[in-house]
Amino acid sequence: MNGAESLIRTALQAGVEVCFANPGTTEMPLVAALDAVDGMRAVLGLFEGVCTGAADGYARMADKPALTLLHLGPGFANGIANLHNARRARSPVVNLIGDHATWHAGADAPLTSDIVSLARPVSAWIRSVSDSRSLAFDTAQAIAAAKKYPGRVSTLIIPSDCQWGPTEGPAAPLAAEGPAPVEAAQIERAARLLRDGEKTALLLGGRALREPALIAAGRIAATTGCRLLCETFPARLERGAGMPVVERLPYFPEQAIETLAPLRSLILAGATSPVAFFGYPNTPSSLVPDGVEVAALAAPEQDAAGALEALVHELKLGRTEPSMAPLSPPPKPSGALNPITVGAALAATLPANAIVMDEAATTGFPFFAVSSSAPRHSYLALTGGAIGQGLPCATGAAIACPERRVVAFQADGSAMYTVQALWTQARESLNVTTLLCNNRSYRILQVELARSGVTEPGRKAKSLMSLASPDLDWVALARGMGVAAVRVQNADELVAALERSFSQQGPNFIEMML
């Protein structure tokens, strides 16, 4: 057995079953090992950002890591943006990066680079393999590092001779570190703030947005009257009919500060204290107004679900039941396409148990509000702000949950970053409906330019935010990748296209002209 085969066998024994790959010459032994060892699903991405984004989406829905297989430093660099998003989502991901043979490293070949320096900003754990016999154990450590609660990115750099060299066999799985304990003082402080009768909110993030934690938070809110808020861009939020309704903290800082201003205290459960996405003139970095007390019930690395259950016990809530959203989707809209009718159309037609990956930017804001009583669904968002996450993340989510319909609610500008994901969806026959908002612009940048005080941008500024001249033909792009595609001009056509796509197997693409 060679090192590459021992790696694949080690990964399988640790429960890792999928490899999102864009390999090159230095990874050929690993490519061969995928054939030699049964059990690992190999998924080709035509761009490394598709592989890393898909691994993120897979991890969010499967709660376990996938492998990425990338080619040297430049290949890894192509995937860094979505690894940044994965790090912010606290997703477990294991990167395998092929490197030159150990004895060739000093030759300074054209593809030689400092992979460790590239990997450090997005990786919580990095190791360069030294020989084939250590590769299996290094792999087991990389997987355990990625599984450390709540999830991390680990990167294993593997010289090609360590892949083809001999080894004694796979390594046994290693136990991953679970959540850090929550101190009794954290629970007692949160209980005191909730008992005081002052205006309080629970800001939920990370694993606190899964069903058990949300039910506990809903019980607390039903008794104490506290508000339930969630992070602006949650990694995964369970919502819809039968779940407590959670407000999303607004994106724009003025609106977020206004949302928090009436509070006397903000209790963090799985979330960090909120800050503005960017620094603006005359706007503080922290979104928490002066005078609002912030208390950490559970940090992201702690057991937020357990802390909320302990808080229920501390408050002696007994059999208190949370208030749940009814099943009451909005009426199917008619007329012109705009953010409101688009959000209503998706909420009105959304199938039960769907997964919505939202990278629709400005057009997507109304959907969240109108879908709180839509059928139960999982909501994924752009955690790190690096656009181009939506299509790959939806791809990975569909591989993790093949029985569920995935909706990639997508803006046109960010879709162009990783459009190759459509090809992977077609090749793998994934149940993904891409709902693309075509306004032929980077609309969010137009908004931000106006917010910066530029009310009448000039020709050059306008050109940098326009996706016209030439117009992108999204139907042709999708069909060219093997995905069935239609273009809709109004809300009636959109509703019909959504219903048709949800009734069919495989990927579909709907271009909305806004």
Query: What is the per-residue DSSP string for 143-207?
Result: HHHHHSTT--EEEEEEEHHHHHSB-S-PPPP-PPP-PBPPPHHHHHHHHHHHHT-S-EEEEE-GG
Q: What is the mean pLDDT of residues 52-60?
A: 98
Q: Is a pLDDT exceeding 90 seen at residue 134?
A: yes
State the number of CA atoms in the 13 A half-sphere of 304 facing the CB: 28
Asked if 184-314 and 339-513 have one fold, the answer is yes
Q: Give the model's confidence band at 381: pLDDT under 50 very low, under 70 low, under 90 confident, else very high.
A: very high
- The pLDDT, as a whole number, for residue 198 is 84
Q: What is the mean pLDDT of residues 188-214?
A: 96
What's the 3-state SS for 421-440? HHHHHHHCCCCEEEEEEECC
- Torsion sign over Cα 367, 372, 374, 375: positive
CATH class name, domain 339-513:
alpha beta
Average pLDDT, the chain: 96
Q: What is the mean pLDDT of residues 405-417?
A: 97
- The pLDDT, as a whole number, for residue 449 is 82
The letter for the amino acid at 296 is: A
Nearest to 78 by CA among 119, 41, 109: 119
Q: What is the mean pLDDT of residues 142-165?
A: 98
Nearest to 447 by CA among 233, 247, 255, 232: 255
- H or E stretch at 61: helix 48-62
- The pLDDT, as a whole number, for residue 335 is 97
- H or E stretch at 95: strand 93-99
- H or E stretch at 403: none
Domain over 3-164 is classified CATH 3.40.50.970: yes
15-39 residue pLDDT tens: 999 999 999 999 999 999 999 999 9
- The pLDDT, as a whole number, for residue 159 is 98
Beta carbons of 375 and 329 less than 8 angstroms apart: yes
Q: Is a pLDDT exceeding 90 seen at residue 362?
A: no
Calculate what percentage of the chain has a pLDDT beyond 90: 91
For domain 184-314, give the CATH number: 3.40.50.1220
Q: Which DSSP letter does residue 441 get?
A: B
- The pLDDT, as a whole number, for residue 361 is 87
Domain ranges of the chain: 3-164, 184-314, 339-513
449-504 residue pLDDT tens: 888 888 889 999 888 888 888 999 999 999 999 999 999 999 999 999 999 999 99
Query: For 202-279, where are the alpha helices, taking DSSP H only?
Result: 211-224, 253-260
Tell me the whole-structure pTM to 2 decimals.
Answer: 0.97
By DSSP bridging, strand 508-513 and strand 432-438 are parallel
